[in-house]
Every structure is written in structure tokens, then in C-alpha cells.
Amino acid sequence: MLATRRELIAALPVTAGALSYQAPVKVTKYVRFRRGSGSAYGILEGDRVHPLSGDLFGTNKPAGPPLKLREVTLLYPCQPSKIFAVGLNYKSHIGSRKAPDKPEIFYKPITALQNPEGEIVIPRGAANVHYEGEIVAVIGKRAKQVSVDQAREVVFGVTCGNDVSERDWQNGPSKDLQWWRAKGADTFAPLGPAIAHGLDYGNVLLQTRLNGQVVQSQFTADLLFDIPTIVSFISQAVTLMPGDVIYTGTPGSTRKMSPGDVVEVEIEGIGVLRNKVVAG
């Protein structure tokens, strides 16, 4: 799991007087769930979901008794009007390529979204589908031409994402002019399980596991362009709305997934996004 960070912290030398106490910030985990034929938002606490009524990004209030987590189905945690994603945003992923001098942005369609525990479907004709574990920013306020400092205030929280990519359609022999299907095929944007509100997301550990094996592991402090910078950059040209999401880039290397595989994206303080891979 995420023992690596705790081991690193435990190994740090302690210098008398070097550390000052800071009160912990409460992290609230918001989820969207289905129970029966209806769906709602709620707050996840342990193995209980506390239902909410109202606007997740505005005014909301408790709506009934808590539910057991096993009695509900978690859905992707918000309903965005737009999905953005960032390419080449970790040095470990760029390799020998030149680092970009600005965030490299592309779109993914809404229909690419997939729920936690939902299936990643390999489309017909796809032969080289890869995972890309990422931290995803969730916008909480309308943002148009905001500064980096203002951008910090419009980020509602963060969640886990998988920017599933078909490499042959993206860069290989079957390369398309645009990444419309390489990045945007149905189910190529798993998201969830929860939005962590109040989390200090600037330096948390992100890990991706394929069939239980850790295949990506990096701290978000290693992003070339951090979340406020990305939000500010996008907002100069495109207005961001509450619920919009931004996949911020993947670290390290990726590899092909096959039907029957299980991919998990775990981010410290958020949870685990788990999806099984199936053939279309």
C-alpha cells in the first residue's frame, strides 16, 4: 500500500526547535452514489455514507440517516461539463523528450467517464491500451482568467483518475490526427472514488498497481506544472465551471493492459480507484 511515504517521514532527522505545531486540516471525502434507482451525493466516513441534499459546490445539508458503504454503488464523484487532461507533466514520464514550457492540454469527452469498480472496455481494433494513474483536480467555482493564487481558491478538491490511452491510436502506426479515440474512447476516464476536500494535495503519494504489482509511484510535488498553475492557464482561454475536472498527468512509464487485468490508482488521503479490464 502507501507505506513508502511513512517510512520516508520516519527516517527524517528530528532537530530540536525546527518543527512548529500546525493544527490538522479536516479532510472531507465527498462521494456520489446510487441506491436503488436514484443517485445522490454524500460524505464518506469509514464504512458509512452520510447522504446530502442540495448543491455539492454550493449549499448542502444532511439528508437522512447514514448508509452502509456496502449497500450503495459509488459513481464517479461529480458530473463535469468538461474534462481536461495534461500531457508530459512529470519528468519521469517525459524521458528524453524536451520538457514543455507550458501545460500541454487536451480534452476527454464526458462519455469516457467510468465509475469506481466499473469496467475499462478495450474497444474493437484497439491493441495497445495503457493505464495512466493521475491526481485529478475538481473545480468548485466558476473560473475565468484567474491568477495562480486565485486558482487555489477555485479548486474544490482532488480525486483519483486513470487517463486510459490507446498508444497505437495516439502515436503508433494507426495514429490519428487528434486523440479523440486514443484518449476519449468510452470508459477511458475512470474517476473516483471520492473527492478529498481540504487535502494538502501538493505532495501526496500516487501509486498505480496492475494486478497487485506497483507499476507507478511518485509524489505529486514532482509535477512540472502544479494544479493551481494548470487551472490558471486553462482559465485564460476557457471558463471552468463547478464540477469540471482536470487530469494532471501521469508519472513514470506505462504498459499495456489486457482483458482480465485489474488496475488500481491509489492516492494518499483520497482512496483507491479500482477497475477491471474487459474486451469490447
Co-location of 184 and 273 in the same domain: yes
Co-location of 123 and 60 in the same domain: no
Residue 95: what pLDDT?
86
Residue 22: what pLDDT?
52
Q: What's the whole-number mean pLDDT along residues 49-65?
A: 96
Q: How confident is the model at residue 5 (pLDDT cuts 50, 70, 90)?
A: low
Separation CA 219–CA 167 (nearest Å)? 25
Burial grade of 33 (CB within 10 A; 0-12, 13-18, 19 or more)? buried
End-to-end CA distance of the chain: 31
Integer-rounded Cα Rg, in Å, for the chain is 19
93 vs 6, more confident: 93
52 has a pLDDT exceeding 90: yes
Residue 126, number of CB atoms within 10 A of its CB: 19
Q: What's the whole-number mean pLDDT along residues 113-135?
A: 98
C-alpha neighbours within 13 Å on the C-beta side of residue 228: 13
8 has a pLDDT exceeding 70: no
Average pLDDT over all residues of the chain: 93
Residue 201: what pLDDT?
98
Residue 18 counted as domain residue: no
Separation CA 147–CA 163 (nearest Å)? 27
Residue 114: what pLDDT?
99
Co-location of 59 and 87 in the same domain: no
Residue 109, number of CB atoms within 10 A of its CB: 16
Residue 79, number of CB atoms within 10 A of its CB: 14
207 has a pLDDT exceeding 60: yes
pLDDT tens by residue, 128-185: 999 999 999 999 999 999 999 999 999 999 999 999 999 999 998 889 999 999 999 9
Q: What is the CATH number of the domain that holds 53?
A: 2.30.30.370
Co-location of 55 and 87 in the same domain: no
Separation CA 179–CA 189 (nearest Å)? 13
Co-location of 190 and 126 in the same domain: yes
Co-location of 162 and 212 in the same domain: yes
Co-location of 130 and 205 in the same domain: yes
14 has a pLDDT exceeding 50: no
Co-location of 154 and 173 in the same domain: yes
Which residue among 47, 75, 103 closes a domain? 75
Which residue among 75, 91, 112 closes a domain? 75
pLDDT tens by residue, 23-39: 567 999 999 999 998 89
Domain count across the chain: 2
Q: What is the CATH number of the domain that holds 199?
A: 3.90.850.10
Residue 20 counted as domain residue: no
Q: What's the whole-number mean pLDDT along residues 236-253?
A: 98
Co-location of 70 and 179 in the same domain: no
* Residue 62, domain extent: 27-75
Residue 21 counted as domain residue: no
Residue 5 counted as domain residue: no
Residue 124 counted as domain residue: yes
20 has a pLDDT exceeding 60: no
Separation CA 126–CA 169 (nearest Å)? 8
Residue 17 counted as domain residue: no
> Locate cell 500541454: which residue?
104
pTM: 0.91
Residue 265 counted as domain residue: yes
SS (H, E, C) 101-156: CCCEEEEECHHHEECCCCEEEECCCCCCEECCEEEEEEECCCECCCCHHHHHHHEE
